[in-house]
Each structure stands twice: as C-alpha cells, then as structure tokens.
C-alpha cells in the first residue's frame, strides 16, 4: 500500500523506529541476493543473513524502548545491533548505529541537518571499528553517503526526506563503484555485499518516509513475540523449543513461500537459497510440522533438530561446575564432530556457529560469562567471526583476549599449546604463535563459474582453498584433494588430519584417507568425522 509522505521535520523516536523496521523488512527480501554476492564461488555466503539478523536485534530492542525521544530510540538501536551483531558486516552495521546514536544523543526529534550530522558520526564509528579499513566496502558506502547527506543539509531545504533521498542515491552509486576500488570484486564480477546491504537498509528507510509501506505497524517477522504462539513462549524465557535446520533439494523451490510457511510455525526463521537448493532454520515447538512440510517439496539433507530447553539447562549447569583453571577458552565450531574435537583438545565452552550462521556478539558474551574464570581467551576460528568476538571486551568485566584463528585447524593448533598452569599472557602469546605452525585446507563445491587470478572455475566443480586463498579446481573431488595436499605437505610435515563433512560418506572419506597414506607414507594421517556443513573436507597439516 502506498500512502502520502509523512510530515518529516522533525521526526521523533517513533518515526526513527519505523524507518528501521521498514528497512529490516526490505532487507529481508534482499538477503538471498546479498548472500550471493560472494567473492569466492563457495556455498557459504552469509552477509545478507548476518545483516538481517543484526537488524532484527536492533529493531527488537528499539521496540522495547518506552521513551519516544529520537535519542533514546537511537541508543536502543545501537544496543540491540551490538548484542545481535553477526559477522564482520553485522559488527560494522552495529558501529553505524552507534554513531547514529551519538549524533542524535539527547534529541527529542531530528531534522535533515541532525540526520546528516548523525550519519557522519556513523561513518566515523564504522571506520574506527575496523583494524585495517579497506575501501570498496561497506565503509566506503557509509562514508560517501554521509558526505552527500552533509552536502545536501547545507542547502535550505533540509527536511529528513530530502536528505534521505540523497543518502540512498549516493549509496547506490557508491555500491556500483566498489569493484573499481577493490580488484577482488572486479575479478569476481560482483559489488561489495556489505555495501549492497547498507544501500538496501537505507532504501527501506526511505520507503517508510515516503509512505511506501506495505502495512502499518511493526514488521511481522521482526516483532516475532506477537506474531505467533510459539514466539510468545520463547519471549517468556521459560521454554525454548527446538532449533530445527535442514537442507532442501528440489526443483522450482520458492524461498519466500517457504519462509512465510515457517514463520507460521515458529520464530528466528532464516531461509536462503534458490530454485534447486534451500537452507532453512527455525525455532519451533513442532519440528515435525516443519520437516513434514519440507519433505512435501523435495529431498531433505543435513537435518538437525536440537532441544534448546536441554541446551539451556546444560548451559546453566556448566556454571555450577568447579573451575579447572584460572583461564578459560571459548571456541566457535560448526558440526557435531568438530565440536567434540574442540572439547577433546581442551576448550572450556564451544559456541555453535560457523559459515552462514555466525554466532552473535551476545552468543559469545553469554559463553564468556558462563566461563568460571575471570580471564577468557576466544578462538573465533573464522575470519568473519573475529570482529564480533572483539566486541565482547567492552560488554564484560572479565579480561578478554581474542586469538585471531581464521580456520578450524588454527583453532585446534592453538588449543593444543594451551597450558592450564600458565598465566593468561603466556597462553595468549603461545596460542597466537601456534596459528602460523599449521596449514589449513578447505574443499567444497563451486556454486558459480568465475575466474580467480587465472584459475578457471566452473559451477559444480570441486574447489580447494589453501590458507584462505583459492588454490585448486577440478571435476574430481579426490583429485582436487590430492593436488591441494601436494601444496600443503612438505618433508617437515608430521601430521595430516582430514575432517570430513556432513555431506561426505564415511566410506568415501576412509578410502581417501587410505590413498593419502599410500602417497605420503612418512606422515601420520588421521581421518575424523567433523560433520561440518558446506565443506566436504577440512584439512590440517602440521
């Protein structure tokens, strides 16, 4: 439904909340497309998911703000986005809200000038939040949009609508320029995913100001606590239900229709994919209904149903156990096998998460607070989780250090040198040094065709990464693994560990292991069921 634009100067806190509720709805419609803007052709694009979940957390917190002042709502948005931030894009988005709150601090309402000033603060906070800012990313988009807003507000007609129109126009142009600033984007033939997500957020806010909302009031998928009975039970913090995830193979699949159906069955719904492959996540008290619906559409794989009530009780029970040492470790891992591996090498707490479902800042904070010691080392084991991990230190009184492990093998190597009898600083130093003592390989299937640094990749081929860089592509998965190992193994290598994923049969993995043992008789070869999603094999060479 399209209605006349609102009286826009000044806008109060209710209008600010409405802008970003509408932005969240608009972003939800674009999440799949943003996920697809992945530099590498791997099936773990998660920028759209991370930004959407961060936005949902922001507007949920704003919805609980009883104060109608713009400044109070802006601070609520900042708090919610920080606690719910997932992945690098989500953390940067939370810093943008933080700057917005700083710019609107103490204001009952705001006009175009105020909005422009606040956006300049947003850009400043976004850049400060990144250790090594890179142009051609979401940072460039917020900076250039803020500069355009400031220039527009210097003119006479400075209502919120005119400034926001300028912001959206410049954000769109800035996103289009990202490939010219970042060669890796130009090579992959995509624009920056985070920048595109921010443009969509601004566009959604502008649609609200123009009165182009589809419905009045809060977004149904955001205000989940009133959207369905299951969500009401969760909001009561007494029952949690079942975390239900699955991969659906079929033809003519409609991700939007699947999302709408799952929203009627539960909350925290996430559906991404295309006409042939959809990944879904829902918190529900009736997982059978969700799975039954999915089986009517195609073939299910990687089905996971976890009782969150039991998990919550285990989480609380962990707090009552006696401390083992003066320093605790929190690691992030995805896949039941990898979770057990991390516990076996000494992790105090393992937070579920990884590609496509990065843990939020709040998830990591809860794990840190549950640890018995006042000193905690966090191992993110993923480059897209490290930034969220670094936000924890300002939210807790505990002493926090993030050992920047970017891969599962690095995280395991770091834990293997952890010493409960050593002090905090000694352990941190030893664990950081251990990161460079291991080489990491990852093998998956390409989701699109592209050329990367002269390496031709075709959709459906097996591809392998070596220490984060695309290294090998080929039509045969085993041959790709062999070529990868040729580049990883040296005379100094002692141990090769192969973790096979949820989509890889045990017999296939064991056969591969035997072949590798024959090829490298001088090295010790271990094959372990990691059950990780997306990646057929994760390989560690020490």
- 481 within a domain of the structure (yes/no): yes
- 4 within a domain of the structure (yes/no): no
| Residue pair 60/53 in contact by the 8 Å Cβ criterion | no
Co-location of 54 and 101 in the same domain: yes
Co-location of 378 and 293 in the same domain: no
Nearest to 464 by CA among 44, 47, 42, 46: 42
Give per-residue pLDDT as tens, 100-136: 999 999 999 999 999 999 999 999 999 988 878 899 9
- 219 within a domain of the structure (yes/no): no
Give the model's pLDDT for residue 239: 52
Choose the final residue of a domain: 404, 422, 437: 437
Residue that wins the pLDDT comparison between 225 and 282: 282
Co-location of 461 and 359 in the same domain: no
- 2 within a domain of the structure (yes/no): no
**Structure token pair of residue 139:** 């940072």
- 218 within a domain of the structure (yes/no): no
Co-location of 432 and 460 in the same domain: no
Q: What percent of the chain clears pLDDT 90, i.e. is strictly above it? A: 56
- 142 within a domain of the structure (yes/no): yes
Mean pLDDT rounded to a whole number for the chain: 85
- 314 within a domain of the structure (yes/no): no
In the sheet where 469-474 sits, what is the strand order? 469-474, 462-466, 439-445, 537-541, 495-500, 524-529
Co-location of 196 and 251 in the same domain: no
The domain spanning residue 404 has which CATH number?
A: 3.40.50.510
**Residue range(s) defining the domain that contains residue 242:** 224-309
**Structure token pair of residue 153:** 């507000």
Choose the final residue of a domain: 309, 329, 363: 309
Q: What is the spatial distance between Cα 453 and Cα 469, in angstroms, rounded to a whole number? A: 10
Co-location of 22 and 94 in the same domain: yes
Co-location of 359 and 271 in the same domain: no
- Find the mean pLDDT for residues 327-345: 91
Number of domains in the chain: 4
Nearest to 34 by CA among 77, 84, 90: 90
- Please report which confidence band the pLDDT of residue 493 belongs to, taking 50, 70 and 90 as the band edges: confident
- Please report which confidence band the pLDDT of residue 235 belongs to, taking 50, 70 and 90 as the band edges: very low
Give per-residue pLDDT as tens, 460-492: 999 999 999 999 999 999 999 999 999 999 888
């Amino acid at each position: 439904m399209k209605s006349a634009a609102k009286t826009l100067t000044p806008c109060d806190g209710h209008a600010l909340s409405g802008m970003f509720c509408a932005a969240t709805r608009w972003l939800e419609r674009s999440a799949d497309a943003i996920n697809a803007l992945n530099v590498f052709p791997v099936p773990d694009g998660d920028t759209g998911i991370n930004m959407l979940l961060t936005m949902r957390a922001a507007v949920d917190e704003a919805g609980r703000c009883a104060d109608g002042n713009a400044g109070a709502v802006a601070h609520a948005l900042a708090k919610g986005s920080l606690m719910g931030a997932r992945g690098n894009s989500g953390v940067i988005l939370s810093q943008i809200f933080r700057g917005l709150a700083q710019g609107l601090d103490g204001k009952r309402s705001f006009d175009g000038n105020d909005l422009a000033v606040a956006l300049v603060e947003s850009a400043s906070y976004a850049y400060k939040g990144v250790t090594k800012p890179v142009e051609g990313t979401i940072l460039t988009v917020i900076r250039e949009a803020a500069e355009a807003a400031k220039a527009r507000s210097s003119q006479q007609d400075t209502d919120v609508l005119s400034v926001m129109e300028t912001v959206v126009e410049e954000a769109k142009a800035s996103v289009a320029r990202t490939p010219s600033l970042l060669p890796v984007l130009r090579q992959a033939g995509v624009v920056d995913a985070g920048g595109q997500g921010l443009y969509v957020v601004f566009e959604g806010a502008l649609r609200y100001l123009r009165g182009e909302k589809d419905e009045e009031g809060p977004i149904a998928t955001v205000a989940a606590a009133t959207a369905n009975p299951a969500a009401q039970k969760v909001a009561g913090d007494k029952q949690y239900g079942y975390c239900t995830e699955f991969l659906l193979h079929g033809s003519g699949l409609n991700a939007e229709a699947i999302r709408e159906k799952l929203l009627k069955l539960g909350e925290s719904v996430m559906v991404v994919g295309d006409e042939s492959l959809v990944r879904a996540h829902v918190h529900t008290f009736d997982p059978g209904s969700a799975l039954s619906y999915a089986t009517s559409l195609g073939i299910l794989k990687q089905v996971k149903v976890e009782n969150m009530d039991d998990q919550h009780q285990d989480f609380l029970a962990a707090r009552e156990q006696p401390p083992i040492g003066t320093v605790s470790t929190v690691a992030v891992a995805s896949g039941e096998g990898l979770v057990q591996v991390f516990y076996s090498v000494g992790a105090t707490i393992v937070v579920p998460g990884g590609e496509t479902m990065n843990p939020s800042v709040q998830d990591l904070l809860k794990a840190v607070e549950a640890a018995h010691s006042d000193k905690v080392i966090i191992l993110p084991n993923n480059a897209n989780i490290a930034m969220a991990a670094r936000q924890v230190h300002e939210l807790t009184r505990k002493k926090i250090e993030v050992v920047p492990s970017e891969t599962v093998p690095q995280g395991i190597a770091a834990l293997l040198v952890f010493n409960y009898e050593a002090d905090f600083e000694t352990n941190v130093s030893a664990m950081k040094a251990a990161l460079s003592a291991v080489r990491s390989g990852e093998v998956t299937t390409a989701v699109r065709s592209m050329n990367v640094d002269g390496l031709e990749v075709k959709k459906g081929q097996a591809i392998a990464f070596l220490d984060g860089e695309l290294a090998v592509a080929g039509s045969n998965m085993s041959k790709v693994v062999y070529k990868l190992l040729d580049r990883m193994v040296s005379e100094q290598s002692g141990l090769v560990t192969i973790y096979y994923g949820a989509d890889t049969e045990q017999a296939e993995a064991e056969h591969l292991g035997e072949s590798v043992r024959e090829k490298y008789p001088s090295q010790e070869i271990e094959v372990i069921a990691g059950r990780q999603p997306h990646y057929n094999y994760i390989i560690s060479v020490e």
